[in-house]
Amino acid sequence: MVRYLNKFLFSRAMNIAIVGSGYVGLVTGTCFAELGNNVICVDVDKDKISKLNNNVIPIYEPGLEELIKKNRKRLKFTTDLKKAIKESEIIFICVGTPPKENGEADLSYVENVALAIAEVMDSYKIIVEKSTVPVETGEKVAKSIKDYNVHNVDFDVVSNPEFLREGSAVDDFMHPDRIVIGCETERAKKIMKELYSPLKSPIIFTDIKSAEIIKHASNSFLAAKISFINAIANICELAGADIEKVAEGIGFDRRIGRNFLNAGIGYGGFCFPKDAEAFIRIAEKFGYNFKLLRAVQEINNNQRKNFAKKIEKSLWIVKGKTIGVLGLSFKPNTDDMRFAPSIDIITELQKEGAKIKAYDPKAMEKAKSILKNVVYCSNPYDAAKDSDALVIVTEWNEFKELDLKRIKSMMKHPLIIDGRNIYKPEDVKKEGFTYISIGRGEVH
């Protein structure tokens, strides 16, 4: 992390408020402090702010704790939104935009912040949408602030969607492929350009609506790539081909690329599922039926259901059997359990009467409040002990290096069902396991 130090020397330090100190807000605020700015991170969650003030980091994100400690002098944590607004020139809205029951994004948290800004601001402010929001939200935020602008001061609304990935968020923020800034005045453009100038990444300036659509289009495209390779994996399974070879063969084509061509049990997390759903609703409002994205979602949902069926089929009678589950978080290197495939898969197996033992390196605390009647284990070997099957749900690196001999000696029955294709079938077979994975046929 030291390599980021003092890169900012050539741009002026700015006063920034980050409203919403979750996965995006906390990383954004910390990284802006690392770039030399004075940052106030705000949250309504008193417990989160109190933890942060006591140097306890409420989320797991590689490198974040270290970077917060290093920049503690330039970082403040508070629940006092009004004070943070007053003291800042740029206000980043990083609150959640969770799905409503009908799949649309719930923008009430964004509106609450906009109204607070309108009430309090007494000098020029740039209000930046960093949360993922539907196209036209910028217009609505600007209108709300204008309508309630108590001190009648100038302001600009900017859309600056965030593309960081949980698990590598700090590095993604510091080295983004691109920075997208949707803004409509030269004044805001100049300040935003200066703010991001220490990062040596291309900046794409657009109008606000285009920036908003870039975010939904990017996430939907990536979700589509995952569902595409999973559909091909299903064909491979039926035809007796090997999806790993097929993905390699496709991925070498530079027009396609190898990233996001990993067959598995599909995407989860706080972004892809809700953003795809929200984008379908946005398109619908404009009168466009986004059938392609609906198919992407359907394939993704079926992928988990089919995986649970695979487990059930391989055990024949599930009732009373013990299943060891490795990995609970929606992806490796995060403790985030939101929309994690493990939730659906474990719930389905429990419904069929299975006893679940589970291990995850970082997500067990969060999982405990979601998944009940699970025996949470202290390591992968404990989860395998006396199990009739070992199921791999999240591809944490430590699972790739397990001592399979030891695992086999502890299990009741040597069966591995791998939802992330982390092993070579021949290696597992050599150890005497039955190995079932995705798109590669069964190995006995």
Q: What is the secondary structure of 152-175 as a DSSP string? A: ---EEEEE------TTSHHHHHHS
Considering only residues 38, 71, 88, 132, which one is a binding residue for ligand NAD as defined by CB under 6 A?
132
Q: Select from 94, 114, 323, 326 the one that contacts ligand NAD (CB under 6 A).
A: 94
Ranges of beta strands (E only) in 59-202 are: 75-78, 90-93, 125-129, 155-159, 179-182
For residues 298 and 230, give the distance between their C-alpha atoms in angstroms, rounded to a whole number: 11
**Interaction of residue 164 with ligand NAD, rule CB under 6 A:** yes
- Closest approach of Cβ 180 to ligand NAD, in Å? 12
Least distance CB 334 / ligand NAD (angstroms): 8
Q: And the tokens for 399?
A: 């699972």
Closest residue to ligand NAD: CB criterion = 22
Residue 159 sits in the site that holds ligand NAD (CB under 6 A): no
CB 20 within 8 A of CB 131: yes
Geometric angle at alpha carbon 120, from 147 and 85, rounded to 5°: 120
Q: Which is nearer to ligand NAD, 215 or 225 (CB)?
A: 215
- Min CB(96)–ligand NAD separation in Å: 4
Q: Cβ–Cβ contacts within 10 Å for residue 186, how many? A: 9
Cβ at position 347, least distance to ligand NAD in Å = 22
**Single residue of 61, 104, 162, 395 touching ligand NAD by CB under 6 A:** 162
Q: Restricting to residues 266-295, which ones interact with ligand NAD according to CB under 6 A?
A: 270-271
The answer to whether residue 20 forms part of the interface with ligand NAD (CB under 6 A) is yes
Q: Which of 37, 38, 131, 160 binds ligand NAD (CB under 6 A)?
A: 131
Binding region for ligand NAD (CB under 6 A) out of 22-30, 187-195, 254-262, 392-400: 22-30
* Interaction mask 27-56, ligand NAD, x per CB under 6 A: ---------------xxxx--x--------
What string of DSSP letters covers 363-416?
-HHHHHTTS-SEEE-SSHHHHHTT-SEEEE-S--HHHHT--HHHHHHHSSS-EE
Strand residue runs (E) in 130-288: 155-159, 179-182, 203-206
The residue (of 133 and 229) whose beta carbon lies closer to ligand NAD is: 133
Instruction: Please give the Cα distance from 426 to 444 (Å, whole number).
Output: 10
Is residue 247 involved in binding ligand NAD (CB under 6 A)?
no
Q: Which residue's CB is nearer to ligand NAD, number 163 or number 307?
A: 163
Q: How many residues bind ligand NAD (CB under 6 A)?
A: 27
Among 34, 156, 166, 395, binds ligand NAD (CB under 6 A): 166
Assess contact for 297 and 331: CB atoms under 8 A.
no
CB contact at 8 A, 282 and 134: yes
Residue type, 284: E
Binding region for ligand NAD (CB under 6 A) out of 17-25, 245-253, 383-391, 418-426 = 17-25
Tell me which residues in 71-90 interact with ligand NAD (CB under 6 A): 81
Q: Does 173 bind ligand NAD (CB under 6 A)?
A: no
* d(C-alpha 215, C-alpha 211), whole Å: 7
Nearer to ligand NAD, 48 or 357 (CB): 48
Distance of CA 439 to the CA centre of its chain: 25
Q: How far is the CB of 270 from ligand NAD (least distance, A)?
A: 5
Can residue 24 be called a binding residue for ligand NAD (CB under 6 A)? yes
* Residue 415 backbone phi and psi in degrees, to 5: -130, 125
The reply on whether position 95 binds ligand NAD by CB under 6 A is yes
Residue nearer to ligand NAD on the CB measure, 21 or 421: 21
In the set 31, 41, 236, 271, the catalytic residue is 271
What CA dihedral angle connects 50, 53, 56 and 59, to 10 degrees?
70
271 catalytic per annotation:
yes
Q: Considering the rule CB under 6 A, would residue 21 count as an interface residue with ligand NAD?
A: yes
Please report how close the Cβ of residue 380 comes to ligand NAD at its closest, in angstroms: 26
Does 96 bind ligand NAD (CB under 6 A)? Our answer is yes
What span, in angstroms and rounded, lies between the C-alpha atoms of 385 and 102?
43
Compose the 110-129 pattern: x for residues touching ligand NAD by CB under 6 A, - for all others.
--xx----------------
Strands, E assignment, 38-106: 38-42, 75-78, 90-93
105: DSSP letter: B
What residues does 18 pair with on adjacent strands? Answer: 41, 92
Closest distance of CB 48 from ligand NAD, Å? 6
Q: What's the rounded Cα separation, in Å, for the pair 277 and 271?
A: 10
Applying CB under 6 A, which residues contact ligand NAD? 19-25, 42-45, 48, 81, 94-97, 109, 112-113, 131-132, 162, 164, 166, 270-271
* Catalytic residue IDs: 271
